[in-house]
Chain A
Amino acid sequence: MRTLDELLHEHEFFKGFKPEHLELMAGCATNVIFEAGEYIFREGENADVFYVIRHGHVALEIHDPRRGSIAIDTLQENDVLGWSWLFAPYQWHFDAKAVKLTRAVAMDGKCLRTKCENDHTLGYLMMQRFATVLADRLQQTRLQVLKLYD
Chain B
Amino acid sequence: MINLTPQLTTQQLTDPMQPEPFRVKRVMKESYDTFTLEMEPVNSERLFTFAPGQFNMLYIFGVGEIPISISGDPNQPAMLVHTTRIVGAVTKAMSKLKAGDVLGVRGPFGTGWPVSSAKGCDVVLVAGGIGLAPLRPVLYQMLAHRDRYGKVVLLYGCRSPEDILFRKELEKWRARFDLEIFVTVDYGDSDWHGNVGVVTKLIPKAPFDALNAVTMVCGPEVMMRFTAIELQKRGVQGEAIALSMERNMKCAIGLCGHCQFGPTFICKDGPVFTYPQLQSWLAQWEV
Residue numbers of A with Cβ under 8 A of B are 57, 59-60, 67-74, 76, 78, 99-100, 140, 143-144, 146-150
Q: Which residues of B lie under 8 Å from residue A150 when comparing CB positions?
A: 159
* B187: nearest chain-A partner, CB-CB: A70
Would you call A71 and B188 a contact (CB within 8 A)? yes
Q: Which residues of B lie under 8 Å from residue A148 when comparing CB positions?
A: 128-129, 157, 186, 198, 219-220, 222-223
Would you call A149 and B159 a contact (CB within 8 A)? yes
Per-residue CB proximity of B179-195 to A under 8 Å, as 1/0?
00000101111101111
CA A94 to CA B88, docked complex, whole Å: 38
Out of A57, A73, A78, name the residue touching B205 (CB < 8 Å): A78
* A136: nearest chain-B partner, CB-CB: B201
Consensus secondary structure, chain A interface = strand
Would you call B196 and A143 a contact (CB within 8 A)? no
Chain A CB within 8 A of B37 CB: no
Tell me whether A147 and B186 are in contact in the complex, defined as CB-CB below 8 angstroms, given that A72-B196, A74-B195 are known contacts: yes
| Chain B interface size, under 10 / 10 to 19 / 20 to 34 / 35 or more | 20 to 34
- The 7 A-B pairs at the shortest CB distance, nearest first, are namely A149-B129, A71-B188, A143-B198, A74-B196, A71-B196, A69-B190, A148-B220
Tell me whether A100 and B201 are in contact in the complex, defined as CB-CB below 8 angstroms, given that A148-B129, A148-B222, A149-B219 are known contacts: no
CA A57 to CA B193, docked complex, whole Å: 9
Would you call A146 and B222 a contact (CB within 8 A)? yes
Residue numbers of B with Cβ under 8 A of A are 128-130, 157-159, 163, 184, 186-190, 192-198, 200-201, 205, 219-220, 222-223, 226
Most-contacted residue by chain A among B158, B159, B197 (CB, 10 A): B197
CA A147 to CA B226, docked complex, whole Å: 14
Would you call B187 and A71 a contact (CB within 8 A)? yes
Would you call B190 and A149 a contact (CB within 8 A)? no
Least CB distance, A146 to chain B, in whole angstroms: 6
Would you call B158 and A67 a contact (CB within 8 A)? no
Q: Which residues of A lie under 8 Å from residue B128 when comparing CB positions?
A: 148-149
Would you call B197 and A140 a contact (CB within 8 A)? yes
Q: Which residues of A lie under 8 Å from residue B220 when comparing CB positions?
A: 148-149
Least CB distance, A69 to chain B, in whole angstroms: 5
CA A99 to CA B194, docked complex, whole Å: 9
* B129: nearest chain-A partner, CB-CB: A149
Least CB distance, A70 to chain B, in whole angstroms: 6
Q: Which residues of B lie under 8 Å from residue A70 when comparing CB positions?
A: 187-189
* A67: nearest chain-B partner, CB-CB: B189
Would you call A73 and B222 a contact (CB within 8 A)? no
CA A60 to CA B128, docked complex, whole Å: 22
